[in-house]
Amino acid sequence: MLRKEFLQMRRDPFTIALTVGMPLIQLFLFGYAINADPKHLPTLVVGGDNSRYERTLLAALAHTRYFELAPDLVSEAEASRALDRGEAQFVLSLPTDFARAIDRGERPAILLEADGSDPTAIGNAVAALNALNATVLERDVPEWLRRDAAAPPPFEVRVQRRYNPEGITAYNIVPGLVGTILTFTMVVVTSLAVTRERERGTMENLLATPVRPLEVMLGKIVPYVLLGYVQTALILAVSVAVFGIPVRGSLLPLVVGLGFFIAANLAVGFAFSTIAANQLQAMQMAVFFILPSILLSGFMFPFRGMPGWAQALGEALPLTHMLRLVRGILLKGNGMLDVAPHLWPMVLFTLIVGVIAVRSYRETLD
């Protein structure tokens, strides 16, 4: 029996390769890509007076490495739009009389607006700004302010966590479960579609029917699209009723985005089903896709905390764009124009994977 098992293992090198490769991928993903302390977060600056105080403050913020300051000033409308679309993590608003107010000892207030839809991504950056407040202008303020050791900091920091003022973790995790659960169920179910036919001996009947590979793929996929919408409706209903998740945007762009996302994952599952020789291989390939999707999409860890190569891989995954789409609609009130940049990557992904699946479909039992 022992010799027989070793012979069977040797005859199935693909399964052995997946079994060995999976731990290595997990090791590299957790070791290099996962970072709970993101730095170089995109930050926009509004207002200001271009004084020495402002230049010192901005230089100190850049020195912390938490803030990646945009080179040009923007308007309040542009800054708000960038926060809504997820293009900026912070917006720093400075008063136009910043220097004059400090010289008079009036303690002007600066406003830091943060994208609070992911509380873990902004915590350390906000703490770094608060720590700078006491000492950053120590050498620049007038002499009479420096002499008083008990004097308060020369300016006041006000932080506004938009979209999630209380920093509730469920507001970030629960909407993300929409895409995560759909990825798991859709890929796993369809990855067994063709291999199940082959192992049950019904593949001959399927090949005898006058259907083309594309028609087989559509026939296997379409029934599960409806199942995906049912799952989403159930998850959203529980999220609103139990966890109090707000729904600030229209559900129409969510329905459209869900259609593209479900199709992308079903295409992946069908492609695995046509490539795999048996259901075990199909399941291993499904896990091989699901694990990086969860780790690199920003569901569990801040997306901007990952290195550049990991972010590039994450941008190619449908789950990354689905998470941004769902959180943007539910928490930020995004509309169709705001979520449009997340739709075409899922469409492109579906087309590429669909072509691979159709070409991999074998019309023979060999």
**Per-residue pLDDT tens digits for 8-40:** 777 767 667 767 777 777 777 777 777 878 889
According to the model, what pLDDT value does residue 227 have? 86
Contact 281, 287 (CB under 8 A): no
Give me the chain's average pLDDT, please.
84
According to the model, what pLDDT value does residue 308 have? 86
* 352-362 tens-digit pLDDT: 998 888 787 66
Maximum average pLDDT range among 134-143, 200-209, 302-311, 325-334: 325-334
Amino acid at 354: G
Spatial distance between the Cα atoms of 77 and 115, rounded to a whole number of angstroms:
15
β strands within 192-348, DSSP E: none
Using H for helix, E for strand and C for coil, what is the string for 325-345? HHHHHHHHCCCHHHHHHHHHH
Share of the chain above pLDDT 90, in %: 28
Q: What is the pTM (predicted TM-score) of this model?
A: 0.84
3-class state of residue 44 by DSSP: strand
Contact 125, 77 (CB under 8 A): no
* 235-263 tens-digit pLDDT: 889 989 988 898 898 889 999 999 999 98
* 176-224 tens-digit pLDDT: 888 999 998 888 888 877 677 666 666 556 656 666 767 767 777 778 8
Average pLDDT over residues 57-62: 91
Give the pLDDT band of residue 41 (cuts 50, 70, 90): very high
CA torsion sign, 96 to 99 to 103 to 106? Answer: positive
- Please state which of the ranges 98-102, 223-227, 359-363 shows the lowest mean pLDDT: 359-363
Contacts of 98 (CB under 8 A, 6+ apart): 48, 49, 51, 53, 54, 108, 110, 155
Residue indicated by tokens 């303020």: 141
What the block records as the tokens of 216 is: 């087989």
3-class state of residue 157 by DSSP: strand
Q: Domains of the chain (ranges plus CATH)?
A: 41-162 (3.40.1710.10), 169-360 (no CATH)
What the block records as the tokens of 312 is: 């590039």
Spatial distance between the Cα atoms of 289 and 124, rounded to a whole number of angstroms:
31
Spatial distance between the Cα atoms of 292 and 317, rounded to a whole number of angstroms:
9
Give the residue, 169 or 351, on which the prediction is more confident.
351
